[in-house]
Amino acid sequence: MSENVTAARPSAQEPVKFKKQNQAKEIWRRFRKNRGSMVGLFMLILILLAIIFANVIVKYSAATTQNLSIKLAGPSSEHWFGTDSYGRDLFARVLYGGRTSISIAVLATISSCIVGSTLGAIAGYFGGKVDNLIMRALDIFMSVPDILFTMAVVFALGANFVNLLIALTLAYFTNYVRLVRSQILSLSDLEYIEAAKAGGASSARIILSHIFPNAMGVIIVNTTLNVAKIILYESTLSFLGLGMPPPQPEWGQILAEAREYMRSAPHMLLFPALAIILTACAVNLIGDGMRDAMDPHLKS
Amino acid sequence: MNENNILEIKNLSVIYKTDLETVNAVNGIDISIKKKSTFGLVGETGAGKTTTARSIIRLLPAVGHVTGGSIEFEGQDLLTLPAEDMREYRGDKIAMVFQDPMTSLNPVMSVGDQIAETVKIHNPHLSKDEIDKRVEDTLSMVGILPSRKVEYPHQFSGGMKQRVIIAIALACEPGLLIADEPTTALDVTIQAQVLMMIKDLRDRLGTSMLMITHDLGIVAKICDDVGVMYAGEIVESGTVEDIFEGKNHHPYTEGLFGSIPNLKSKAKRLNAIPGLMPDPTNLPKGCVFAERCKYATDICREQHPGVVASGTHTLRCHLFDENGNRKEKKNEQ
Amino acid sequence: MYRYIIKRILFLIPTILGVIFIILLVLNFTPGNPGRSILGVSAPQEAVDQLNQELGYNDPLMVKYVHYLKNLVVNHSFGTSYFTRQPVANEVLPRFWVTLKLSIIGIIISTLVGVPLGMLTAVKQYTAWDYIPSVLAFLLAAIPAFVLGMVLLFVFSLKLNILPSYGLNTWQCYIMPSLCMAIPITAFNIRFTKSSMLESIREDYIDTARAKGAKESTVIWKHALKNALLPVITNIGLNMGGLIMGAVVAERLFSVAGIGALIVDRIAYKDEPVIIAGTIVISITFTIIMLIVDIIYAFIDPRIRAKYTRIKG
C-alpha cells in the first residue's frame, strides 16, 4: 500500500542540545532582566572606570600633597570631597584608595577561591582519611578567630600588598573548602558520575570535566559575594592600622583618620564610607543577580 | 452530571503564564470517571497529564490558571468552589499521590504523624487514641508494621516511602484517588508490588482512581477506561478494550503501541515516533500531531480536528468519520 | 548522643594545643620584641637583651610551647604578662567577661530580630513586608561594622547627645557597641533565613501537605518552617567569627575594655602570654557555642539524631 499523500516529510527534529554557550546566554538573559543586577553592574562599571582612569581625573600627588593651610575644609569646587586633616584632597584619596582596596579584594578573592577549592576538592573527592585530616585541621584553624589571626600575620610579615594578600587569602579560603567539598560530595553520588567512572574516566578527568562545571555556578556566586565581604574586611583591617602604610591612601585608613575629626569635619567620614558602601552594594547586587539567574523560579 | 460518574471534566483548558510567555498546557479536554472504576491517563512527558491532575485538586502553581471548562465531582463544580471549601475536599474526598516518593515526605516528621495529620484535619472530633488506631490500621493496610509509625522517612526505602504516601492518601477513604505516575520512580521489581497493592486497596475500599502513567503495561493491568493525551489534548479515549484492541486508533496511539519493545523480534532498533511534541507556547493551528503523523494530509495541518465517537470509543482525528470509522483506505502497509 | 557530646568536648584538647602552637609560630616571625617595646627605642641593647632573657622571650619555640603547656596544666596558670608583669589571668578574665556580655547581647538581638524578619519577608514575598526589610538588610550588609559604629557615634553621641561614647558604667553604654556588633549579623540572618524559607516552600513535601487539605498557615508554619530553620541554626554558630570581628572593632571605637582590644594592643608588644591566653579563651568559647548549636541541631533533625542514637528496627 502506498503511503497517503504527505507533505515533504519533516526532518526529525534534533533535541535542542544545551551547549555551554546556550546555557551561558540563557543565564545572561535572565540576569539582564533583573533590574537590580543591571543597576549593580552599571554602578560597578562606573566605579571601576573611575578607579582605573583615576590618574586621568586627578593626579596622584593630590592624594599625598599636604597643605595644612586648607586642612579639614568641606567640599568645594576645587576639592570635590573637601580635604583631610593634612590638607590633602579627599577626592583624590578616595579615588586612589579605591584602587588599592578593590584590587586587593579581587586578587584575594581569586586566590582564596583557588586555594580553598583545591583543598575542598581533594577532601571531597578522595574522602576517607584524607578528608578527615583536612577537615579536622580546618576545624582547628577555624577556632582561631580569623581577625586575630589576620592581624598577627600582617603584623608578622609587615604591611605591604603581597602580605595583605596572603593574610586575606588565609582568612577566606576556609569558606571554599567546605563549599566545594559539599558540592563534590553531593554531586559524586549522582549517576552520571558513576557512568563516567564506569566508562573508565580517570579521577582528574572526572573532577575537571564533570564535577567542576556543575559546582561552578555555586562557586561563582559565592566568589562574587565574597569580593564584597573582603572589601569590607580589608577596610576594617586598614581601619585598625593593619593596611598599607601611609601615605598610600586606603578607604579604611582614611576613615580611621576621620574618627578624630568627626565633629568638625563629617565630610571625612561621609565620602569614604559612601565609597565602601556603594561598591559593596554594587557587587552584592551583581552576586544576588547571578544567583537568581542561575536558579530561576517562575515569578507570576 | 451523569449519576454513574464520580468525576466529569468538560472542556478544561489550563495555561501557565509567566512574564516571558504563555504555555498552553491543557486545551479543551473531556474526561469522565465512573464510580469505583479506574481511568488511565496516558501520554508522554509534557502532554499535560500532571497539569490536569493538579487542576482537579486545584493545586496549580501560582503561574497556572484554568481558563475554561468545568470539573464536576459528585455533582459539584470544583472550579467554582471557594478556596476554604476546596480544602475540605483535599485529602478527604479527593486524594493525590505525587510522583517522587523520595521527596514527598516531610523529613522531620514521623510517618505516623504525617498520616495522623490527614485524619485530624478532616476529623477534628476524633480522640487521640482513635486517630492512633486509624494510623496503625492504615499502615497495616499498606503492608507496613504499625509499630513503625514513630520512624522517620529516611528510615524507609523508596518503595516503602511510596506505601506511606499511599497510606496518607487513603487514610480518610477518599472517593477519588489521583495517582501521578506512582511507580515511575521505583525499581521495576518494587513497581509490581506497589501496583498490586494499589489495585487491591482500590478493590477493597471501592475507590475510584485516576491513574496517570506513560506505561501501557500498567494501563492494561489496572485500568478500566483510558484517555490518551498529547500536547494538551485527549486524542483518543475509551474502555481498555477499545484502546488495546480494535482496528481504529489515533496515529499517536499506534505509535505508542508500536514503540513497545518486542522481546521476540529481532529488530535492531526500537521504533520511536520521530519528532517532538509541538511547542506549547506556539501550538499549530491544525491537528497537534500532524507534524509527526505519517498519515497527515492537508486538512490535518489546516483544521483542528473535532471529536468523533463510536460507542465508548472517541477519536480526535481527521482520518475518521462521525461514526468513528476510517474514512479512506489509503493508508497502512 | 552522649558519646557525640563527649567526643566533641574531647576535641577541644587538640584544638587548644593547635591554637597555642599556631600563635607561638606566627609570633615567632613577628618583628620586635617585648624588651624593646617596654624599655623604649633609646634603651641600650644590653638592657633590652637582659629583659628579654628574664621574661623567657628568647627561649626557642618548642621550649616556650612545652613550658606554657606545663604551666597551664600543672599550675593552672596562664603565666605572667611580659608587659605588665601581672598574672595574665587577672587581666584576661575580667575583660573576657565584658566581651562575653556584649557578644551575648549581640547574639540575642541578631537572632531574635533577624530570623523572624527573614521568615516574614519569605512568607509575604513581593509585598511591602518583604521589600522594606530586604532592602534594609541589603544596605546594612554592605556597611562594615566600623563605619556603622562611627555613624552611630556621630548621630547618637555627637549630634543628639543621648548615648555615651565610651566606657561601660551605665546600661546606656551597652547599646551602641552591641548594636555595632549585632547589626551586620542581623542583616545576614534576614537574608539567609529568607532564602532558606523560600527553598523550603518549594519542596515536594509541601505539595503533599497541601494535598492533604492542610491550611496554608499550617503548611508554612509547621512544615516549611521546621525544615527551613535547620540551616539557619547551623549558621548561628558560624556567625561567631563575624561577632568577634565586630567585638574587636566595637571595643576599639567605643573604648570598651574588652578582650578584643586587649589582644590587639598586646600584639604590638609581643606579649605572648596574654595573646595566647586571650585567644585560647575566645577559641574555647567559640567552640563551646558551636557545640551547643550542633547539639540543638542534632536534637531537631531526626536524620542527624539517628546517627548518634540506637535505631530500633
Q: Which of B102, B104, B139, B210 to mutate to test the interface with C (most CBs of C within 10 A)?
A: B104
- A191 reaches B (C-beta below 8 A): no
CB contact under 8 A, A300 and B18: yes
- Radius of gyration of chain C from Cα atoms? 24
Q: Is the pLDDT of residue B301 over 80?
A: yes
Task: Calculate ∠ Cα C13-C16-C22, nearest 5°.
Answer: 140
Cell 482513635 belongs to which residue?
B130
Indicate yes or no: CB of C150 within 8 angstroms of CB of A273: yes
Task: Return the domain boundaries, chain B.
Answer: 102-173, 233-315
If you count them, how many residues does chain A have? Answer: 300
Question: Average pLDDT for residues A229-250, to the nearest whole number?
Answer: 83
Query: Cα–Cα distance between C185 and C109 in angstroms, integer?
Result: 9
Q: Dump pLDDT digits (tens) for B101-135.
A: 888 999 889 999 999 999 999 999 999 999 999 99
Span C158-165, average pLDDT: 77
DSSP code for B303 = S
Which of C212, C303, C311 is opposite residue B107, by nearest beta carbon? Answer: C303
Sequence-separated (6 or more) residues with CB below 8 Å from residue B263 = none
Q: Which residue ranges make up each domain of chain C?
A: 2-74, 95-307
Return the closest-CA partner of residue A292 out of A40, A20, A18.
A40
Per-residue pLDDT at A220: 85
Q: Domain C95-307, what fold? A: MetI-like fold (1.10.3720)
pLDDT number for residue A7? 36
The packing angle between helices A212-239 and A146-157, to 10°, is 70
pLDDT of residue A189: 62
Chain A positions touching B274 (Cβ under 8 A) are: 12
Confidence of residue C15 (pLDDT cuts 50, 70, 90): confident
The C-alpha atoms of residue B287 and residue B315 are separated, in whole angstroms, by 12
User: pLDDT value at position C307?
Assistant: 65
Euclidean distance between CA atoms C60 and C58, whole angstroms: 6
Mean pLDDT value across chain B: 88
Per the CB < 8 Å rule, is A7 touching B301?
yes
Which band of pLDDT confidence, cut at 50, 70 and 90, is reported for residue A20?
low
CA distance C153 to C140: 16
Tell me the nearest-neighbour CA distance from B121 into chain C, angstroms. 7
Alpha-carbon distance of A112 to A104, in angstroms, equals 12
pLDDT at A16: 34
Q: Is the pLDDT of residue C310 over 70?
A: no
* Residue B101 contacts residue B161 (beta carbons within 8 Å): yes
Which residue type does A298 have?
Answer: L
CB atoms B297 and A4 under 8 Å: yes
The pLDDT of residue A3: 35
Cα–Cα distance for residue pair A124/A129, rounded to 1 Å:
11
Q: Which residue of A has its CA nearest to B294?
A: A6
Average pLDDT over residues A76-101: 83
Give this complex's ipTM.
Answer: 0.83
Question: Is the CB of B331 less than 8 angstroms away from the CB of A1?
Answer: yes
- What's the pLDDT score for residue B100? 87
Nearest CA of chain C to the CA of A147: how many Å?
Answer: 6
- The DSSP code sequence of chain C is -HHHHHHHHHHHHHHHHHHHHHHHHHHHTSS--HHHHHH-TTS-HHHHHHHHHHHTTTS-HHHHHHHHHHHHHHS----B-TTT-SBHHHHHHHHHHHHHHHHHHHHHHHHHHHHHHHHHHHHTTTSHHHHHHHHHHHHHHTS-HHHHHHHHIIIIIIIS--S-SS-SSSTHHHHHHHHHHHHHHHHHHHHHHHHHHHHHHTSHHHHHHHHTT--HHHIIIIIIHHHHHHHHHHHHHHTHHHHHHHHHHHHHHTT---HHHHHHHHHHHT-HHHHHHHHHHHHHHHHHHHHHHHHHHHHH-HHHHHHHSPPP-
Across the interface, do A255 and C244 touch by the CB < 8 Å criterion?
no
Per-residue pLDDT of A240-292, as tens digits, reads 877 777 777 888 888 888 888 888 888 888 888 999 999 999 999 998 888 88
Dist. CA C271–CA C273, nearest whole Å: 6
Which grid cell is C10?
574531647
For residues B239 and B222, the answer to whether their CB atoms sit within 8 Å is: no
Test the B interface: residue of A2, A4, A35, A292 with most B CBs within 10 Å? A4
Partners for B (CB, 8 Å, 3+ pairs)? A, C
pLDDT tens digits for C241-263?
788 888 888 988 888 888 888 88
Query: Cell numbers at residue A294, please?
Result: 542561575
CB contact under 8 A, A157 and C29: yes
- Distance separating alpha carbons of residues C43 and C103, to the nearest angstrom: 41
Residue A209 is predicted with a pLDDT of 67
**Does A54 score more than 70 pLDDT?**
yes
- CB contact under 8 Å between A1 and B276, yes or no, is no
Contacts of B308 (CB under 8 A, 6+ apart): B314, B315, B316, B317, B320, B321, B322, B323, B324
Out of A98-107, A192-201, B137-146, B227-236, which region has the weakest mean confidence (pLDDT)? A192-201
pLDDT of residue B183 exceeding 90, the answer is no
Burial class (CB in 10 A: 0-12, 13-18, 19+), B233: buried
End-to-end CA distance of chain C: give it in Å, rounded. Answer: 18
Phi, psi of B182 (to 5 degrees): -65, -20
CB contact under 8 Å between C306 and B155, yes or no, is yes
The rounded mean pLDDT for chain A is: 77
Residues of B in contact with C226 (CB under 8 A): 106, 108-109
Residue C94 has pLDDT above 70, yes or no: yes
User: What per-residue confidence (pLDDT) applies to B270?
Assistant: 72
- What would the pLDDT profile of A189-226 be if each residue is shown by its tens digit? 665 666 666 666 666 666 666 666 667 778 888 888 88
Best of B22, B51, B63 to mutate (most A CBs within 10 Å, chain A): B63
Residue A193 has a pLDDT of 62
Angle at the Cα of C91 (from C89 to C97), degrees rounded to 5? 90
Q: Which of these, C176, C174, C186, C181, lies nearest to C152 by C-alpha position?
A: C176
Q: What is the pLDDT of residue A195?
A: 67
User: DSSP per residue over B31-54, as a string?
Assistant: EEEETT-EEEEE--TTSSHHHHHH
CA–CA dist B49, B34 (Å, integer): 19
The pLDDT assigned to B271 comes to 75
Provide the β-strand partners of residue B32. B8
- Residue B238, helix vs strand vs coil: strand
* Residue C249 buriedness (CB in 10 A; 0-12 / 13-18 / 19+): buried
Confidence (pTM): 0.79
Contact B296 A6 (CB under 8 A): yes
Is C211 an 8 Å CB contact of chain B? yes
Place of cell 547589626: C183
Beta bridge partners of B8: B32, B72
Q: Please determine, for residue A47, whether its predicted confidence score (pLDDT) is greater than 60.
A: yes
